[in-house]
Amino acid sequence: MKPIVVTVADAFQTGYRYVRTAPEGEAFAPEFTPDLTPRVMLELGVFGGKYMTDCRGEFPSDWFARARLSPRGADKACNHFGVLAGQPLSEWARKGWLHPDDPRGWFQWYCRYHMGRRMEDDARQIKRWRAFARHAAQIRAHCEAGDPFCRPRQRQALLQWAYDSRQM
């Protein structure tokens, strides 16, 4: 694949450049096997619909054709399970979870990784993703399969980490 240089211009980054060296949705690390693509996550409803409202130009337009977005602010009605789940970016920053190249956090990293960017932070982010699987184990241990009313915040959080929690 011929490398593609992407220049970002959104509310969080202006002039940031990165290179896509892998085909979209391919050549993932073997230990990274997300259930959901970024497009499907946006269609299902994640992050209160607020996450990707100002950076559509960086990603394929079909990701946004059916995305559940809320440009005015996070709205739990935009989320698949109808609840807000997660912490504000300020908390992520306080805990040292943000990388300077991805100031919006894990999902921004995943979107760019899915599009073909590879970088030194990949191993850390994949390790964080793998650690989040503990929430799926808790749902399986404490809920009837497919019961969306059992632990909806945990189910929503799993969706936001590309785990398909709808049928757990």
pLDDT tens, position by position, 20-40: 999 999 999 999 999 999 999
In a domain, 168, yes or no: no
Domain count, the chain: 1
In a domain, 36, yes or no: yes
d(CA 131, CA 113): 18
Q: Locate 54 and state its tokens.
A: 């100002």
In a domain, 165, yes or no: no
In a domain, 114, yes or no: yes
Q: In sequence order, what are the residues at sequence separation of 6 or more whose Cβ sits closer than 8 angstroms to the Cβ of residue 8?
A: 14, 15, 16, 17, 18, 55, 58
In whole numbers, what is the pLDDT of the chain averaged over residues? 95
Question: Given a cut of 90, is residue 146 above it in pLDDT?
Answer: no
Range of the domain at 48: 4-159
In a domain, 166, yes or no: no
In a domain, 62, yes or no: yes
Question: Mean pLDDT over residues 142-155, rounded?
Answer: 94
pLDDT in tens, 124-135: 999 999 999 999
DSSP 9-34: ESSS-EEEEEEE-S-TT-S--TT---
pLDDT in tens, 69-112: 998 889 999 999 999 998 888 998 999 999 999 999 999 999 99
Q: Locate 57 and state its tokens.
A: 């130009």
In a domain, 167, yes or no: no
pTM across the whole model: 0.95
Q: In sequence order, what are the residues at sequence separation of 6 or more whose Cβ sits closer than 8 angstroms to the Cβ of residue 132?
A: 157, 158, 161, 163
pLDDT score at 1: 87
